[in-house]
Amino acid sequence: MLEEFTKANLAMWNELTGIHAESEFYDVQGFKAGKQTLTSIELEEIGGEVAGKTLLHLQCHFGLDTLSLARLGAVATGVDFSDQAIALARNLSQEVAVPATFVHSDVYHLPEVLDERFDILFTSWGVLIWLGDLDRWAEVVAHFLKPGGTFYIAEFHPFVWMLDDGASSLRPRPASAPPPADELRVGYPYFPRPQPLAFDDDGDYADPAAHVHASTSYEWTHSLGEIVTVLLRHGLVLEYLHEFPRSIGLRLPFIVEGDDGWQRVKGHEESFPLSFSIRATKRAGG
Partner 1 sequence: MTSGQATPAGSDARASGSGVGRPLLTSDVESFKAGHTALRPLLVEELGDVAGKTLLHLHCGRGLETLSWARLGAEVTGVDPSPDAIEAARELAAETGLRATFMQADPSDVERELPGTFDIVFASWGALAQQGDLHCWAHIVAHYLRPRGTLYLTDVHPFARTLEETDDHDVRVSYPYLAPEPPSRCDRGSPHGFAEIINALIEAGLRLEFLHEFPFAAAPLWEWMERDPQGWSRLPDRGPDIPLAYSLAATKPMGGA
Please give the residue ranges that form the binding site for partner 1 (CB under 8 A): 159, 162-163, 168, 170-172, 174, 177, 179, 183-191, 223-226, 228-229, 232-233, 237-243, 245, 268, 270-273, 276
Q: Dihedral through CA 55, CA 57, CA 58, CA 59, nearest 10? A: -170
Residue 54 backbone phi and psi in degrees, to 5: -80, 135
With contact defined as beta carbons under 8 Å apart, do 148 and 53 qualify? no
With contact defined as beta carbons under 8 Å apart, do 186 and 168 qualify? no
With contact defined as beta carbons under 8 Å apart, do 104 and 97 qualify? no
Whichever of 25 and 191 has its CB closer to partner 1, that residue is: 191
Name the minimum Å distance from CB 247 to partner 1: 13
Name the minimum Å distance from CB 127 to partner 1: 19
Whichever of 85 and 138 has its CB closer to partner 1, that residue is: 138
Name the minimum Å distance from CB 22 to partner 1: 36
Name the minimum Å distance from CB 261 to partner 1: 20
Whichever of 136 and 283 has its CB closer to partner 1, that residue is: 283
Distance CA 104, CA 167 (A): 34
Name the minimum Å distance from CB 232 to partner 1: 6
Name the minimum Å distance from CB 14 to partner 1: 30
Whichever of 87 and 237 has its CB closer to partner 1, that residue is: 237
Whichever of 37 and 150 has its CB closer to partner 1, that residue is: 150
Strand partners, 244: 275
With contact defined as beta carbons under 8 Å apart, do 220 and 196 qualify? yes
Burial class (CB in 10 A: 0-12, 13-18, 19+), 276: buried
Whichever of 7 and 268 has its CB closer to partner 1, that residue is: 268
265 contacts: CB under 8 Å, gap ≥ 6: 184, 245, 254, 255, 256, 272, 274
